[in-house]
């Protein structure tokens, strides 16, 4: 396992912005681990994730303010951990996530409703990186 001071360069640098599913890990009630597969955006040096308001992910983050995400690629992995905040989700941010994974046509259809009002945007600012590559 290697530890980094900042975002990776080389092989991973071009991959963290790709549309892939990552594992979001938080600490649940009683110290139990909670992990969920999620879509994300890599923007401005942070991992942005959409989740339902009041979901277990949201509640854990509100309680602890910390999370980690892990990218997987065959035998390689990269984990970033740090402080995370939750804020109201805008339609534009929800559209950006859908467009990244499914293209603009699907994104327009999926974000036409006001469903974003029942969601939050999680912003994880990595403070620590480690992995195997």
Rounded Cα–Cα distance for residues 37 and 64 (Å): 19
Is residue 54 left, alpha or beta, with left meaning phi > 0 and alpha meaning psi from -120 to 50? left
Residue 36, domain member (yes or no): yes
Rounded Cα–Cα distance for residues 50 and 94 (Å): 7
Residue 61, domain member (yes or no): yes
Domain with 30, as residue range(s), is: 2-88+123-132
Q: What is the total count of domains within the chain?
A: 1
Backbone φ and ψ of 107, nearest 5°: -60, -45
What pLDDT does 10 receive? 75
- CATH code at 71? 2.30.110.10
pLDDT in tens, the chain (133 residues): 677 766 777 777 788 999 999 999 999 999 999 999 999 999 999 999 999 999 999 999 999 999 999 999 888 899 999 999 999 999 999 999 999 999 999 999 999 999 999 999 999 999 999 988 7
What pLDDT does 5 receive? 64
Residue 118, domain member (yes or no): no
pLDDT digits (tens, 9 = 90+) for 47-65: 999 999 999 999 999 999 9
């Amino acid at each position: 396992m290697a530890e980094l001071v900042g975002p990776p360069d080389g092989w991973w640098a071009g991959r963290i912005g790709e549309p892939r599913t990552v594992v979001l890990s938080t600490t649940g009630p009683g110290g139990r681990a909670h992990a969920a597969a999620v879509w994300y955006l890599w923007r401005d040096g942070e991992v942005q994730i959409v989740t339902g308001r009041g979901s277990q992910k949201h509640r854990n983050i509100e309680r602890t303010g910390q999370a980690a995400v892990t990218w997987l690629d065959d035998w390689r992995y990269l984990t970033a951990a740090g402080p995370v905040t939750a804020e109201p989700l805008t339609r534009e941010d929800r559209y950006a996530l859908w467009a990244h994974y499914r293209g603009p046509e699907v994104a327009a259809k999926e974000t036409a409703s006001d469903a974003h009002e029942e969601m939050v945007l999680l912003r994880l600012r990595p403070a620590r990186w480690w992995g195997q590559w």
